[in-house]
Amino acid sequence: MHSQTEFDWRSIGALNTVSTLAQVGQFGIAFVVLPVWLVEQGLNASQLGMFAASLWLGQLPGLGFAPWLCKRFGDKQVILAGLFSTLLALSCAALVGWPFWLIAGALAGFGLGLRWIALEPWLYLIAPAHARGRLVGFHETLIALAPIVAPLLAAYFGIHGKAIFWIGAGFTLAAIVPLCLARSATIQTHQPGTGVSGTSTGGARMKAAIAQIFRQPRDHIFKQGIVIALLGGMSEAALSGLFAIFAQERGYAVLQITDLLALFGVGGLLLQYPVGWLTDHTSLGTAAISCALGTVLVALCMSLPLAYLPMQVAVFLLGGFITAFLTMALIASTTTGSGDMAQNVSLLSMLYTLSAVAGPLIAGLVMQTSHADALMWLIALAALSMASILALYGRNSRTR
């Protein structure tokens, strides 16, 4: 049994609050609402796909160098740097035009990547190990508020002007207050024999980490996490970045689009903790296959000419299924039996982000040359591939 005095609940609460507030500005505004604003500025599917890809591409240096930066400067300082990067990105996006929005997108992604990797390993390492899966689900539930709050605030204050940038900046600045309440802790980001030298580059760390994974063939849960990260990241990024184009082609007004995005967020919010519970009590593969098959069914339904009410139901369900992929990838990185936790989180986050760069680029190009419904076809194909690979992998592992 673990007594409550063994754990730093003040820091656990403070770090969860930092994520909740920062996620509204860094993800809810930059990744969810800003694409809608850009559609109103006249961007087409291909251009919007490029912007969505820039958001995820900008995360890569943040994800790659965050462990080294945390070791050198401390977790709090790196989180703070990520928050200020987002503030600068929002300021630039409000003042410039195409193609300079791509630079602002990359900077916003960089800030999110820094905060993500600096905060989450810190949080999970000070958490009770016996409930880590549930804590991941709880934490993801809190940050899943962002894609609900941001579209609703944007709809209330108006999507056409500069209000969304003030909203994003306000929440990002507010995250600094609980950050000051978290007790600083020395986290061994790279342990001897399991990590990579702190002086190596992000690319070298990633290469060494990947090599380490394949030297451990029995680590099934981490390999499942790789499949989920690669195909889940592609799906989430394509949907969040290009949904505004899809909905606009269906004839929906801007307020209806923001309402649908909020419903997508509500679906993600309600399924996060159950996914953590299901993974704790069954297996990661079972949970992932269930969500992937649900994604296939709902995405195919959304490609049909649905009325607005059935579309609302479908978007709600799709939000729950797709958002769960990141939760399950994080569960894989924190419950695997090999490697250093911070390194595992960083690697799966990088893989998720790499696929998220490709998703909007591919979907935007296909939508531009064919039809907006191609977004749903691609999401269904990615989810079906995930379910098939995980099912085959599970069967092969049982026969060994």
pLDDT for res 51: 92
pLDDT for res 218: 42
pLDDT for res 73: 86
pLDDT for res 133: 67
Q: 131 and 235 in contact (C-beta within 8 Å)?
A: no
| Long-range contacts, 193-199 (Cβ 8 Å, 24+) | 194/338, 194/339, 194/340, 194/343, 195/339, 195/340, 195/342, 195/343, 196/343, 198/67, 198/68, 198/71, 198/72, 199/68
Among 81, 16, 27, smallest CA distance to 56 is for: 27
Token representation of residue 262 = 């909020």
| Mean pLDDT for back-to-back runs of 10 residues, the chain (400 residues) | 57 84 92 90 88 91 83 87 94 88 93 88 74 71 85 88 90 91 58 37 52 53 85 91 89 89 88 75 83 93 90 92 85 69 73 89 89 92 92 66
pLDDT for res 397: 59
pLDDT for res 298: 94
Peptide bond into 128 cis (omega under 30): no
pTM: 0.77
CB atoms within 10 A of CB 282: 11
Among 122, 112, 159, 123, smallest CA distance to 13 is for: 123
pLDDT for res 277: 78
Dist. CA 224–CA 389, nearest whole Å: 9
pLDDT for res 381: 95
DSSP string, 280-305: HHS-HHHHHHHHHHHHHHHHHHHTS-
Among 198, 157, 180, smallest CA distance to 71 is for: 198
Q: Name the 3-class secondary structure at 3.
A: coil
pLDDT for res 197: 35
What CA dihedral angle connects 84, 89, 95 and 99, to 10 degrees? 160
Domains of the chain: 4-183+201-399 (1.20.1250.20)
Dist. CA 77–CA 199, nearest whole Å: 18
pLDDT for res 338: 61
Classify burial at 214, counting beta carbons within 10 Å of its beta carbon; exposed 0-12, middle 13-18, buried 19 or more: exposed
